[in-house]
Amino acid sequence: MTKTVMYGVVSEQAPANLLPIYHFKPEKVVLFYSDSMHENALRLEKILKRNQYKIDLVNFPAHDNYKILFKVINDSIDETVGCQHIFNITGGTKPMSLAMFENASSLLENEYINIYLDLTSKKIQILGKKESTPTPININISLRDYLE
C-alpha cells in the first residue's frame, strides 16, 4: 500500500482543510500556518488527532516571503520512496498556494497531485499535469468538529 501525505495551509475556514482530508484519508497530514493562524492550526490538530490522523504542524516564519515559503514546504516533504503527495492549495495567501504548487511540480509526475476545493459548491478539482473537472464530494463535517 502506498503511503499518502497531504499538505495544506491553515486558513480561517476549517472546512478548506478538513473536507479534503476526510475525502482522501491520507496516512499523514502536514499543515503549514502563519503566526496569525496558530490558534486555528492547534484546533485542526486537535480535531485530526481525535479522528486518528497523524499530523505535523509547520510554522511559516515569514508568510509573505516566497523564497522562505518555498524552502519551508520543500524541507517538509516526505521523501519516502513511492509516497503519494497531495497538495491542497485551497487555503493561505497566493504566495503560499504558489509555493505549494511549485513544490509539487518539482516532484516526479506520478507522485503528486494538486487539489483545489471550491467551498461553495463542495467540489474538488485536481490541477496541473493530472488535471480533472471539478468533482462533487459527499463528505460532511461533524458538528463537534465544525464547532471545535
* pLDDT tens by residue, 114-144: 999 998 999 999 887 777 788 888 887 777 7
E strand or H helix that includes residue 96: helix 94-105
Confidence band, pLDDT 50/70/90 cuts, at residue 27: very high
The span from the CA of 20 to the CA of 47, in Å, is 14
Beta strand 28-33 with 54-59 is parallel
- Is pLDDT of 108 > 70? no
pLDDT at 132: 79
Torsional sign, CA 97, 52, 22, 13: negative
The span from the CA of 132 to the CA of 117, in Å, is 12
Confidence band, pLDDT 50/70/90 cuts, at residue 65: confident
- Is pLDDT of 1 > 60? no
